[in-house]
Amino acid sequence: MTMSQVFWEFIGTWSKVVELGDTFFVILRKQPLILLHWYHHASVLVYTWFSIDANDPAHRWYMAMNTGIHSLMYNYYALRAMGINVPRKFALCLTTAQILQMLMGFYVNLYSVFAKQIGWDCPRRNSNIVFALLMYGSYLVLFVNFFYNSYLTPKKQNKIKSN
């Protein structure tokens, strides 16, 4: 592994610790902490620590995808925190991008399984592939569920009963 790779693996892994900070802010602001949020942050942190010594080439793809999505997402959160009204379509696009990220992560791992099955040289550890398949598969289910509940299901309206 080159020094550049070591540096970016280090930064990527520790960025997951920093991302736990937004979980802390959710709790401080007494907002609901949904399964998708805490499970995603906790499991991706464990995965990055698990795979840091593997020199897994797919890990760099995951980090690049995640950095791109998170840069948009945290800017969205910052604008909302400043009281700026961001169109709902932007949130919908962000969630769609996250679903595409999970599909891509899942595909990369299926491709790795295929490559190993037909005998191609694939430097990835089987344990990393299995962990990542389970991780991306579960994220995909959770993000699709979030999308469905957030954007496709009508909002429940409180009915006021008159006496």
Full DSSP string of 85-117: ---HHHHHHHHHHHHHHHHHHHHHHHHHHHHHH
Give the mean pLDDT per block of 10 residues along the chain (163 residues): 79 79 79 89 88 83 90 92 94 97 97 97 94 98 97 71 42
- Catalytic residue among 37, 40, 41, 59, which? 40
The whole-number pLDDT of residue 158 equals 45
40 carries an active-site annotation: yes
Domain ranges of the chain: 3-150
Residue 38 structure tokens: 């805490």
- The number of residues in the chain equals 163
The whole-number pLDDT of residue 91 equals 95
Handedness of CA 138, 142, 147, 152 (dihedral sign): positive
Determine if the pTM surpasses 0.75: yes
Burial class of residue 135 in the structure, from the number of CB atoms within 10 Å of its CB (0-12 exposed, 13-18 middle, 19+ buried): buried
